[in-house]
């Protein structure tokens, strides 16, 4: 029996739906978790010791250190919004609108705008007018959110587009691997923005 092939087939099976409850009692939402679930199923069948470097002791460690309760949350978690602070909320909103085709949803505050809400590629972004005395963005590298990643269809066209707008380029086109190409630029208030194109795996 080709146990590795069985493992791969089980992993694919456990990935066939968004959330799969397997005999091991794990809810799987990603391939790594599905692979672990497949290993546990093979262990249940007494076959785990045949999988390359995966020993029963390492499998037990993975199983005991894994916390499915941290993934199978009782609440329906979704990404709701990203909240930015800006020296000029209106100008920052126009940057995302003019460069990336974002759509303004609403403005709060009158006559002084306190917040602009935009739709950026399906993501709701709050841009708050920062009060006087607000500290600038920390110098890189820093903890917390590192950058915003925006997917594009063609990285070459995207790179030319941001250059035409005179936007500061942090790094030009980078072929990270055969299936990922990126460009990093600087947005309003020092925000780092990654443009990325994902390609089919070769």
CATH code, domain carrying 112: 3.30.720.120
Cβ–Cβ under 8 Å, residues 201 and 190: no
pTM: 0.63
Average of pLDDT values for 100-118? 96
Tens of pLDDT, residue by residue over 58-67, are 444 444 444 5
Question: Does one domain contain both 21 and 59?
Answer: yes
Question: Does one domain contain both 88 and 66?
Answer: no
Domain around 114: 78-134
Asked whether residue 199 is domain-assigned, the answer is yes
What sign results for the dihedral spanned by CA atoms 199, 186, 84, 125? Answer: negative
Separation in Å, CA 166 to CA 62, 185, 186: 49, 11, 11
Question: Does one domain contain both 44 and 91?
Answer: no
CA dist 47 and 16 (Å) reads 23
What's the farthest any 2 CA atoms get from each other in the chain?
A: 74
> What is the pLDDT, as a whole number, of residue 145?
86
Asked whether residue 7 is domain-assigned, the answer is yes
Centroid of chain to Cα 37: 23
CATH code at position 153: 3.10.180.10
Query: Tokens 């006559």 appear where?
Result: 111
Asked whether residue 44 is domain-assigned, the answer is yes
Question: Does one domain contain both 58 and 96?
Answer: no
> What is the pLDDT, as a whole number, of residue 139?
81
């Amino acid at each position: 029996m080709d146990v590795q092939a069985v493992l791969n087939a089980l992993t694919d099976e456990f990935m066939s739906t968004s959330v799969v409850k397997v005999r091991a009692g794990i809810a799987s939402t990603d391939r790594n978790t599905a692979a672990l679930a497949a290993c546990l199923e093979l262990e249940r069948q007494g076959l785990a010791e045949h999988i390359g470097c995966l020993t029963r002791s390492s499998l037990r460690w993975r199983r005991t250190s894994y916390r499915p309760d941290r993934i199978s949350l009782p609440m329906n978690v979704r990404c709701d919004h990203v909240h930015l602070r800006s020296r000029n909320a209106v100008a920052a909103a126009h940057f995302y609108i003019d460069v990336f085709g974002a759509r303004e949803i609403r403005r709060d505050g009158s006559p002084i705008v306190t917040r602009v809400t935009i739709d950026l590629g399906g993501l709701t972004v709050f841009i708050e007018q920062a009060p006087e005395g607000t500290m600038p963005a920390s110098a890189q590298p820093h903890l917390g959110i590192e950058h915003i990643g925006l997917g594009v269809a063609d990285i070459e066209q995207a790179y030319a587009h941001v250059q035409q707008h005179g936007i500061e380029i942090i790094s030009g086109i980078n072929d990270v691997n055969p299936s990922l190409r990126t460009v990093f630029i600087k947005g309003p208030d020092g925000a780092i923005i990654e443009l990325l194109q994902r390609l089919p795996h070769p």
